Amino acid sequence: MDRPDRLPGLSSTSHDRRRALRLEALNRLHVRLVVQDRPVIVREIGLGGFSIEAPLPFAIGSVHEFEFGIDGTPPVRLTGRTAHCRRLPGAADVAYYIAGFAFADQSDVATAAVEELFDRVAAVISFE
């Protein structure tokens, strides 16, 4: 029997500290750090937060605004609070970091926007 956390495009383990399934982000999900107008690479996204790869570090606890877009849909702006950030191993002249963010705005409007974005990403995965 297939477990829901083992469906294609989904990521979660029993040892995972996160409480919700997370969708592995696709190339069709475009995200940018608003204040720097810099695109970042989303690794995964869930109802509680997301993780990215970026060429800059993020201070733990700092809040940043991101714009999320999927091909053919209007972008959504959401804020995230940095939960963790670590440098990826690699060439010394090119630093890349993996950072995890919890969605910072817990208002009903922001929660609805996160749920809609999550549904859009899930729809893209189900049709690939």
Domain assignment present for residue 86? The answer is yes
Task: Give me the average pLDDT of each 10-residue run along the chain (128 residues).
Answer: 34 41 65 93 89 94 95 89 93 85 95 89 68
pLDDT confidence of residue 30: 86
In this structure, are residues 101 and 83 in contact, taking their beta carbons and an 8 Å threshold? Answer: yes
pLDDT confidence of residue 19: 46
Domain assignment present for residue 69? The answer is yes
pLDDT confidence of residue 21: 52
pLDDT confidence of residue 91: 64
The candidate with the shortest Cα–Cα distance to 111, out of 52, 58, 47, 51, is 47
Domain assignment present for residue 65? The answer is yes
pLDDT confidence of residue 127: 52
Which residues constitute the domain of residue 79?
23-126
Domain assignment present for residue 15? The answer is no
pLDDT confidence of residue 73: 81
- The model's pTM: 0.77
Beta bridge partners of 53: 41, 98
Q: In this structure, what CATH number is given to the domain that contains residue 45? A: 2.40.10.220
Residue 78 backbone dihedrals phi, psi, to 5 degrees: -140, 150
For the CA atoms of 94, 102, 35, 78, what is the dihedral angle to 10 degrees? 130
> Domains in the chain: how many in total?
1
Beta-carbon-side half-sphere exposure of residue 69 (alpha carbons within 13 Å) = 12
